[in-house]
Structure formats: C-alpha cells, structure tokens
C-alpha cells in the first residue's frame, strides 16, 4: 500500500511531521522550474485519456479539472529541504503540548459513545485514536485548504515521482466519482493528505469507512467517520487488541547498545533477563512476557530508551516515522494522565545541519561503511553504517548521528588519508 509522501521524512531528518503541519510557501507569480518539459495543459490532456481508460467518467474529469492550473508553490514545497532539522525532543515538545492534552481529554468525554462503538467494532483503544486525531489535524482544526486535485496534478506534472502522484490523483478522482465528497470539499494539505485523519487518497479508498451511517465516508466533516477510519486502518495494519504500543525502560549499565536498533526482537521476558527494567509496574502474565518487542533509542544512548511492541509497528504503518509513532504513544499515555518521559533528553546536543548529514554519509562511505547515496536523511542504512563505525572505534553502538560522532568520523578519515599518503 502506498504511504504518505517521503518529503515529510526529508524535512525532519527522517522524522516526519503530520502533513497538515507542513505549510507550503505562499504562491507567487514567478513560475518555479518544473521538471516536466511539456505544458501543463498538454500533460492534463494526456492524463485525462489515461483516467478515462481506468474508469473515470467524463463528468468527473470536467468537474475536477475545470479552471485547474499548476500551483508553483506546491513544487517549491515538494523540492524544499531545510538546512537544519528539529531534534526529536523539540518535536515531542510541540506534539505533546498541554493544550493538546487538555483538548484531547475534553474530546474523549464528548465523543465517549462514539468511541465506545469504535472500540467494540475495531478493537483499537480510544486514547490512541484521539492521539492520532490530535497529531494529524489538531482534532480537525488544521486539515489543510489546498485543492487536492490541483495539488496532485501539479506534483504529477512536475515529473518527480510522477507515478506515485498519478496514482494518488486517480484515487482522488475515484473518490469524487463515488460521491463521498464534492470537488469543492476535496481539500487537504499541499502533499495530498486529506481530512481529520490526513489520509492519502489511496489510503482513503482502502480504509475509510462510513461509521455514522449517512452513506458517505466523510473524513472531513464527520469525526465519527474519521476516527473509525483511523481505527480500521490500524486494525488492517495488524493492531493487537488489549495490547500496548510500548513502554519506557531503563537499560543496565553494561547493556550492549547494538541490540537497541529497533529491529532486533526478543520476548519481553528475554529483555528482562538481560537486565532491562520497565519504568512502570505491570502485571506480568505469560501473554505479556511472551510478546515480541524491540528497543530503540531515539536520541542515542544518553537519552530515553523505549521498548516497542507490535502496536508500535501498526502506528508506523500509519506514518512511517519513529518520532511520530512515539509521539502518538506518549500522547495516548498523557490522555490517561501518565508522564511522558522519566529519562532526560540530551538537549545540549546541537542537531546536524543537512550539509553535515551529507558529509557524515559521504565520509562513512569513504571508510567503506556503505550508507547508500548521500541524501542527508538518516535512515536505516546510515544508522547501520554508524553502528559499524562505532563498533570499529569502540564507541557505544547506538546508531545516533551527532556532532561528536561527525568529528570522530572526520578524524578517522583524516588518519586514513594520512596513512594512505605516507
């Protein structure tokens, strides 16, 4: 299934934000440089033929494309990559604001009966659903006001990842053809995410539901439809009823940090035997002790550690960012009155700039620790390469990119080059 655009990952060093929080620059008259060589009108004519061949009716195309032109501000938003990123603790501070906690608690009470029914049908707890609602659109207050057809047509015409955007555009046209929303009501973020749950059009077609029974899957105006659609998405992504997303843990002093890569799975019982301590007391039944889990360190070995269960991975399928999934989990905890983190964050660390991230990746490549093509995004391959460097130089293997680490890598490369020149 297609997931939300990777531009959100690039904007925050692999830590994506809900798409409604990514504001596109104001549109101006000067045209942006488009990768597509043909005029927008010519591309539109070709696309209309493709859409008709795939079952989109002529009246839908006329309604959708009448008066539509390319939006150059969307091209600039898609191509923008800020030099500096926000560290995870700053992201969480914004995501877990006191206002959001208070508003979420009020909405839990206001929508109690609806949430009772959603929990009963889909097996997803209300706290996670309201947390996602808050993260995605500030509980329906920030859904985006961009014309989805214009946004997706602009992105498809521009030529970068054209196949992905054309699939999203075809799905948006199918939504119009199904009658769930009018062309005027088909609004969302500049990147095509829609409604109170910020679904991409393909996600909407596959997972949106009509929970209030009015014949429309209206995630824009019906909170019941939006929350139930999110629950259906999570259930279809493997959500385990009566389980949790994860827990903050304390690691023993001699813990092997290479195990905390977020991928190596052990049962909870096995982690406990390695000296990992849960930060809150739990009733340890056999089912809980046998749950597979992994540990991840969002800010390296000097920051908090979290044990993630299978439901954490279901949230990742909603938005493929560990920072996002952690924010949803911690916000769900906060809605139940729990504290966010017991371990302090290394707030003295300065985030790497994009140019420094590119340098780090290139230097690791020079050392034979493959990160792939340097792109400034600290993803799985880069973290594996960092761990390889840390192992080689007897450093804690947490896979965390920092200025201290970059300096160590610079020194290693300089020494290697000096040896090679001598």
**Which three-class secondary structure string do you get for the chain?**
CCCCCCHHHHHCCCCCCCHHHCCCCCCCCCCCCCCCCCCHHHHHHHHHHHHHHCCCCHHHHHHHHCCCCCCHHHHHHHHCCCCECCCHHHHHHHHCCHHHHHHHHHHHHHCHHHHHHHHHHHCCCHHHHHHHHHHHHCCCCCCCCEEHHHHHHHHHHHCCCHHHHHHHHHHHHHHHHHCCCCHHHCEECCCCCECCCCECHHHHHHHCCCCCCCCCCCCCCCHHHHHHHHHHHHHHCCCCCCCCCEEEEECCCCCCHHHCECCCCEEHHHHHHCCCEECCCCCCCHHHHCCEEEEECCCCCCCCEEEECHHHHHHHHHCCCHHHHHHHHHHHHHHCCCCCCCCCCCCCCCCCEHHHHHHHHHHHHHCCCCCCCCCCCCCHHHHHHHHHHHHHCCCCCCCCCCHHHHHHHHHHHHHHHHHHHC
Domain end: 190, 207, 236, which one? 236
The predicted structure's pLDDT at residue 36:
61
Q: What percent of the chain lies above the pLDDT cut of 90?
A: 80
Q: What is the pLDDT of residues 354-403, one digit of tens each?
A: 999 999 999 999 999 998 899 998 988 999 999 999 999 999 999 999 99
One domain, residues 18 and 82: yes
Q: What is the pLDDT of residues 66-84, one digit of tens each?
A: 999 999 999 999 888 777 7
The verdict on residue 388 lying in a domain is: yes
The predicted structure's pLDDT at residue 35:
57
Out of 13-27, 45-59, 158-172, 202-216, least confident range: 13-27
One domain, residues 277 and 128: no
Q: What is the pLDDT of residues 220-237, one digit of tens each?
A: 999 999 999 999 999 999
Q: Chain-wide mean pLDDT for the chain? A: 89
The predicted structure's pLDDT at residue 29:
32
The predicted structure's pLDDT at residue 107:
98
Q: Kindly tell me if the per-residue pLDDT of 131 is higher than 50.
A: yes
Out of 11-15, 270-274, 277-281, 295-299, least confident range: 11-15
The predicted structure's pLDDT at residue 28:
31
One domain, residues 254 and 226: no
The predicted structure's pLDDT at residue 84:
72
Over residues 266-275, mean pLDDT: 96
State the total domains in the chain: 3
One domain, residues 22 and 40: yes
Assign 105 a pLDDT band (cuts: 50, 70, 90).
Answer: very high
One domain, residues 105 and 215: yes
The predicted structure's pLDDT at residue 421:
56
One domain, residues 125 and 15: yes
Assign 49 a pLDDT band (cuts: 50, 70, 90).
Answer: very high
- Give the distance, in angstroms, between the CA of residue 209 and the centroid of all CA atoms in the same chain: 22
Over residues 332-345, mean pLDDT: 86
Q: Kindly tell me if the per-residue pLDDT of 11 is higher than 60.
A: no
The verdict on residue 172 lying in a domain is: yes
One domain, residues 74 and 92: yes
Residue that wins the pLDDT comparison between 97 and 284: 97
Over residues 154-168, mean pLDDT: 93
Q: What is the pLDDT of residues 135-152, one digit of tens each?
A: 999 999 999 999 999 999
Domain end: 236, 258, 288, which one? 236
The predicted structure's pLDDT at residue 83:
77
Over residues 9-19, mean pLDDT: 37
One domain, residues 140 and 274: no
The verdict on residue 200 lying in a domain is: yes
Assign 284 a pLDDT band (cuts: 50, 70, 90).
Answer: confident
Q: Domain containing 120: what range?
A: 7-236
Assign 120 a pLDDT band (cuts: 50, 70, 90).
Answer: very high
* CATH number of the structural domain spanning residue 415: 1.10.101
CA distances to 87, 89, 195, 402 from 347, rounded to whole Å, are: 9, 7, 34, 12
Over residues 263-273, mean pLDDT: 95
């Amino acid at each position: 299934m297609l997931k939300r655009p990777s531009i959100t990952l690039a904007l925050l060093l692999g830590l994506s934000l809900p798409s409604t929080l990514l504001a596109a620059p104001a549109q101006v008259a000067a045209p942006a440089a488009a990768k597509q060589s043909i005029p927008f009108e010519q591309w539109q004519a070709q696309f209309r033929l493709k859409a008709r061949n795939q079952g989109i009716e002529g009246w839908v195309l006329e309604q959708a494309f009448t008066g539509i032109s390319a939006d150059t501000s969307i091209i600039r938003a898609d191509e923008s990559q800020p030099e500096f990123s926000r560290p995870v603790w700053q992201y969480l501070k914004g995501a877990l604001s006191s206002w959001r906690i208070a508003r979420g608690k009020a909405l839990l009470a206001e929508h109690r009966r609806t949430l009772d029914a959603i929990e009963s049908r889909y097996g997803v707890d209300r706290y996670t659903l309201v947390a996602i609602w808050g993260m995605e659109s500030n509980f329906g207050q920030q859904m985006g006001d961009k014309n989805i057809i214009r946004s997706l047509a602009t992105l498809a015409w521009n030529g970068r990842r054209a196949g992905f955007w054309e699939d999203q555009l075809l799905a948006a046209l199918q939504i119009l053809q199904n009658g769930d929303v009018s062309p005027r009501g088909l609004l969302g973020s500049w990147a095509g995410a829609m409604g109170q749950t910020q679904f991409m059009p393909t996600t909407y077609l596959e997972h949106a539901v009509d929970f209030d029974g009015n014949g429309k899957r209206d995630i824009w105006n019906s909170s019941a439809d939006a929350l139930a659609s999110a629950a259906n998405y999570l259930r279809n992504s493997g959500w385990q009823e009566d389980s949790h997303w994860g827990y903050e843990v304390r690691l023993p002093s001699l813990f092997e940090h290479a195990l905390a890569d977020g991928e190596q799975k052990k049962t909870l019982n096995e982690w406990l035997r390695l000296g990992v301590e849960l930060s809150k007391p739990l009733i340890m039944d056999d089912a809980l002790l046998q749950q597979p889990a992994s540990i991840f360190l969002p800010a390296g070995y000097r920051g908090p550690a979290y044990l993630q269960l299978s439901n954490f991975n279901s949230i990742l399928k909603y938005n493929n960012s560990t920072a996002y999934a952690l924010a949803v989990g911690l916000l769900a905890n906060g809605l139940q009155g729990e504290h966010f983190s017991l371990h302090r964050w290394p707030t003295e660390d300065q985030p790497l700039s994009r140019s420094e991230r590119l340098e780090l990746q290139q230097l690791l490549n020079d050392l034979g620790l493959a990160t792939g093509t340097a792109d400034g995004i600290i993803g799985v391959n880069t973290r594996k390469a960092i761990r390889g460097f840390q192992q080689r130089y007897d450093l804690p293997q947490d896979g965390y990119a920092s200025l201290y680490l970059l300096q160590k890598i610079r020194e290693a490369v300089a020494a290697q080059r000096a040896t090679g020149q001598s």
